[in-house]
Amino acid sequence: MHAVDLIRKKRDGKRLSRQELEFLITGYVQGDIPDYQMAAWSMAVYFQGMEPEEITDLTLIMAQSGDTLDLSGVHGVKIDKHSTGGVGDTTTLVVAPLVASCGIPVAKMSGRGLGHTGGTIDKLESIPGFQVSLEPEEFIAQVNAIGLCLVGQTGQLAPADKLLYALRDVTGTVESIPLIASSIMSKKIAAGADGFVLDVKVGTGAFMKTEEDALELAKTMVKIGQLAGRTTVALVTDMNQPLGRAVGNALEVKEAILTLQGRGPERLTELCLELAVEMLLMAGGSSSQSEARRSVEANLQSGAALQKLRELIEAQGGEGRVVDSPHLLPQAKFTKEILAPQSGYVETLDPMEIGMAAMNLGAGRESKDTIIDLAVGIELQTEIGEQVMEKQVLAKLYANDEHKLEQAAEQTLRAFTFSSAKPTVQPTIYRKITAQEL
Ligand code: URA
Ligand code: CA
């Protein structure tokens, strides 16, 4: 087999076989196939697309290109959740303990943040003492003991994807739905769960800018899951404004605690409840949508879900008291209130500007090596569709560097536009995609 023949074949719009994809991907990982040939193949995929079976082959080959997590030691059906990345998206910190409190085991590997979106592992590290690195045996033992474990990525999960993603990043081939879908699903499959609940974000702050593209990505991933024997459901959800009101690591942990106390912002709470419902249904923990909804609501109200977060924190060496006293989380030295320049309705609240402003305050990473400041970030005091008066507080900034505060203040204000008439507010959840409706 020759790489050039496979490039030509894809260029001409034909489907590559499993053996052919294996030749390309393993050859690339081993260094036998050079970057320029993989770049040419990626560009051919960008223009010609891939068949569902072909995307699934690629996904499974990438999933098996390195370490895979064996969760067979965890009792019960293991369901993982994944978000394509948003601003103020604290859902994992709420959904994982909520689902675990309903008796469904959650064995989850999460990532760190990059650019304008945050990562669950960084947020957890703002809890004093919390350990994100566990040996596989400890990880499994903890899930069996308390039903929940959240760790950072260990080992070499899907190294083929890592190489290919870096190559796509510099060759204009990131924006290919088959390549994005296989990239995401290869990492999820390598992390060992039996089923997946996906949160595909759409909007100005998301990877997918249009509902059409988000829907196609969601359908492609659900199809891969089906063909790979993993039940997969996707919710297409709004990212035209930050999901929650907190953006920044310790601030988002505080918001997750509030949400688990039943006092969280409405849109964040609603999405967390619905993601938890889907996980419960998939794991067989409820027989109907309405029964699952009653279970998760009951565990928010009763404090059972919050208690599960406390157990998680304590099991991983952290200070469990933060769930009663969030002021034990890292605190920033300086704060600044951003005031409304005029009266009116909040018409837009650009999540990209908010995410970048938080990143510039030190809450996020510009590059992989940036050291982040866990205490800093932004707390929004309003959202799209709300009426504000001139000089009303729109947001509160938290910083440890006064100079950064001034810049971030201007940037935060740029996220807002105002209108005299009440604007239409997008729903939090647009669509649910299941394998049945593909
Ligand atoms: N996120 C991923 O993990 N992979 C992509 O290709 C794009 C976004
Ligand atoms: Ca995230």
More confident residue, 36 or 367: 36
Q: For residue 103, is pLDDT > 80?
A: yes
Q: Over 90: is that where the pLDDT of 115 sits?
A: no
List the residue whose alpha carbon is closest to atom 7 of ligand 1. Answer: 180
pLDDT score, position 183:
97
pLDDT confidence bin for 437, thresholds 50/70/90: confident
Write out the catalytic residue numbers: 82, 161, 168, 183, 187
Q: Which residues line ligand 1 (CB under 6 A)?
A: 165, 174, 179-180, 183-184, 207
Question: What local confidence, expressed as pLDDT, does residue 367 receive?
Answer: 87
pLDDT band at 377, cuts 50/70/90? very high
Per-residue confidence (pLDDT) for residue 145, from 0 to 100: 97
What is the reported pLDDT for 64? 97
Q: How far is the CA of 170 from the centre of ligand 2 (A)?
A: 23
User: Which protein residue's CA is at the shortest distance from atom 2 of ligand 1?
Assistant: 184
- Judged against a pLDDT cut of 80, whether residue 400 lies above it is answered with yes
Question: What ligand 1 atom has the least distance to the C-alpha of 161?
Answer: 4
Using the atom order of ligand 1, give the atom closest to the CA of residue 168.
6
Read off the pLDDT band of 155 (50, 70, 90).
confident
pLDDT at residue 285 above 90?
no
Residue pair 94/264 in contact (Cβ under 8 Å)? The answer is: yes
Residue having the nearest C-alpha atom to atom 6 of ligand 1: 180
Choose the weakest-confidence range: 128-137, 151-160, 270-279: 151-160
Q: Please write the tens of the pLDDT for every residue from 57-73.
A: 999 999 999 999 999 99
pLDDT for residue 112: 87
For the chain, give the percent of residues with pLDDT over 90. Answer: 95
Residue 153: pLDDT band with limits 50, 70, 90: confident
Nearest ligand to the CA of 123 is 2
How far is ligand 2, taken at its centre, from the CA of residue 13, in Å? 35
Ligand 1: which of 58, 59, 84, 202 to mutate, judged by most atoms within 8 Å of the beta carbon? Answer: 84
Q: Quick check: 284 pLDDT over 80?
A: yes
**Measured in angstroms, how far is the CA atom of residue 111 from the centroid of ligand 1?**
12
Residue nearest to atom 3 of ligand 1 (CA): 184
CA of 83 to the centre of ligand 2 (A): 6
Cβ neighbours, 10 Å, residue 214: 27
Predicted pLDDT of residue 257 = 98
* Fold category of 3-49 in CATH: 1.20.970
Nearest ligand to the CA atom of 91? 2
User: Quick one: what percent of the chain has pLDDT higher than 70?
Assistant: 100
Ranking 95-104, 105-114, 288-297 by mean pLDDT, the lowest is: 105-114
Residue 136 CA to ligand 2 centre (angstroms): 23
Q: Check pLDDT > 80 for residue 154.
A: no
What pLDDT, in 10s, does the model give residues 202-256?
999 999 999 999 999 999 999 999 999 999 999 999 999 999 999 999 999 999 9
pLDDT at 206: 95
Fold classification of 79-324+430-434 is: Pyrimidine Nucleoside Phosphorylase; Chain A, domain 2 (3.40.1030)
The pLDDT confidence band at residue 116, using thresholds 50, 70 and 90, is confident
pLDDT digits (tens, 9 = 90+) for 179-201: 999 999 999 999 999 999 999 99
CA of 165 to the centre of ligand 1 (A): 7
* Ligand at shortest distance from the CA of 185: 1
Which listed ligand is nearest to 117 at the C-alpha?
Answer: 2
Rounded to whole angstroms, how far apart are CA atoms 236 and 430? 6
> 299 C-alpha to center of ligand 1: Å?
33
280 token code pair: 């419960």
CATH code matching the domain that covers 330-419, chosen among 3.40.50.300, 3.90.1170.30, 3.30.70.890, 3.40.50.150: 3.90.1170.30
Ligand 1 atom, smallest distance to 180 CA: 6
**Candidate of 55, 180, 220, 221 to mutate for ligand 1, largest count of ligand atoms within 8 Å of Cβ:** 180
Q: Where are the domains of the chain?
A: 3-49, 79-324+430-434, 330-419
3-state secondary structure the chain: CCHHHHHHHHHCCCCCCHHHHHHHHHHHHHCCCCHHHHHHHHHHHHHHCCCHHHHHHHHHHHHCCCECCCCCCCCCCCEEEEECCCCCCCHHHHHHHHHHHCCCCEEEEECCCECCECCHHHHHHCCCCCCCCCCHHHHHHHHHHHCEEEEECCCCECHHHHHHHHHHHCCCCCCCHHHHHHHHHHHHHHCCCCEEEEEEEECCCCCECCHHHHHHHHHHHHHHHHHCCCEEEEEEEECCCCCCCEECHHHHHHHHHHHHCCCCCHHHHHHHHHHHHHHHHHHCCCCCHHHHHHHHHHHHHCCHHHHHHHHHHHHCCCCHHHHCCHHHCCCCCEEEEEECCCCEEEEEECHHHHHHHHHHHCCCCCCCCCCCCCCCEEEECCCCCCEECCCCEEEEEEECCHHHHHHHHHHHHHCEEEECCCCCCCCCEEEEECHHHC
The confidence band for 131, taking pLDDT boundaries of 50, 70 and 90, is: very high
